[in-house]
Amino acid sequence: MRHTLDKLLGPVSVALVAITVWLGLFVTPPDAQQGDLVRLVYIHPALAWVALYVAFGMAAVCSLLYLWPRTRSMVFDRLAASAVEVGVVFTVLTLITGSIWGRPTWGVWWTWDARLTSTALLGVLFIGYLALRRVPAEPHIRARRCAVAALFAAVDVPIVHFSVVWWQTLHQGATVLNPNLTPTIHGLMAWTLLLSFVAFTLVFVWMVIARYRLETLREEGEDVELAEALVARRSEGVS
């Protein structure tokens, strides 16, 4: 059952992304003001949703669960690491797609807007987390350090979310998750937007599962290498 789900998840998520692209490019109408530029709305917000809320939210929750003595398990450490790694990729894609939209709209590839700057800072903070993971240390010590670093970095997530409310920004406010919870997008455009959120979330889940397996295999590989090295060393002593 589990393998069937695993095998289905990849093709299903890729197919949903393909449908989103098809709907976004060929079926949905152009915007009255933005024209065809609006089609980026079917990619950019979904990427940001996955990066900021799903990936880094998951990393924060898993880090908390690791630090909490009753739930401490290396499973949560691996899950947090996997989520951060995929989250950083989605953050970079969010910035790139935002930049592509910003050039024709604002006239510049980048502006020092609060939303953009805090998102870039968030990406750098989590790149620091990934660098910290590469510091050689006993697994539980590394896991504890990384969990604390992830929680520190995750403080930036609400700052990114509320930046468009707290400061005067060029970046537009939330289309769906606005303070009044009244979406400003309707009809086929809204459904395509919703589909993009589902599609990219499934892609994230698929990638995290793959990354988690890789991390588990890497740790098992290290154990096997250590055991083999010990056997080889002992045999040297016998001969």
Partner 1 sequence: MWRDAMLVAERDLRIEMRSKVALWQVVPFAILVLLLFAFALGPGPALLKESAPGLFWLALLFSSVLAAQRSLAIEGSDATRESTRLMGLDPAGIFLGKTLALTGELIALEIVLMAGVILLFHVVVGTWWLLVASLLVAALGLSAVSVLYGSLAGGARMRATLLPVLVLPILAPVLIAGARCFASAMANGPGLGGRWLSVLCVFAAVYLVLGIVLYGPMEES
Residues forming the site for partner 1 (CB under 8 A): 121, 124-125, 127-128, 131-132, 134-138, 141-142, 144-145, 148-149, 152
Contact 56, 87 (CB under 8 A): yes
Q: Copy the structure tokens of residue 54.
A: 């799903």
Provide, rounded to whole angstroms, the least separation between the CB of residue 85 and partner 1. Answer: 16
Provide, rounded to whole angstroms, the least separation between the CB of residue 26 and partner 1. Answer: 41
Provide, rounded to whole angstroms, the least separation between the CB of residue 131 and partner 1. Answer: 5
SS3 71: helix
Using the minimum distance from each CB to partner 1, give the nearer residue, 102 or 123: 123
Distance of alpha carbon 146 from alpha carbon 158, whole angstroms: 20
Using the minimum distance from each CB to partner 1, give the nearer residue, 144 or 171: 144
Cα R_g (the chain), whole angstroms: 21
- Contacts (Cβ under 8 Å, ≥6 apart) of 54: 83, 87, 201, 204
Provide, rounded to whole angstroms, the least separation between the CB of residue 113 and partner 1. Answer: 14
Provide, rounded to whole angstroms, the least separation between the CB of residue 84 and partner 1. Answer: 14
Using the minimum distance from each CB to partner 1, give the nearer residue, 119 or 196: 119
Distance of alpha carbon 194 from alpha carbon 126, whole angstroms: 27
User: With helix as H, strand as E and coil as C, how does 182-201 read?
Assistant: CCCCCHHHHHHHHHHHHHHH
Using the minimum distance from each CB to partner 1, give the nearer residue, 138 or 223: 138
Using the minimum distance from each CB to partner 1, give the nearer residue, 148 or 205: 148
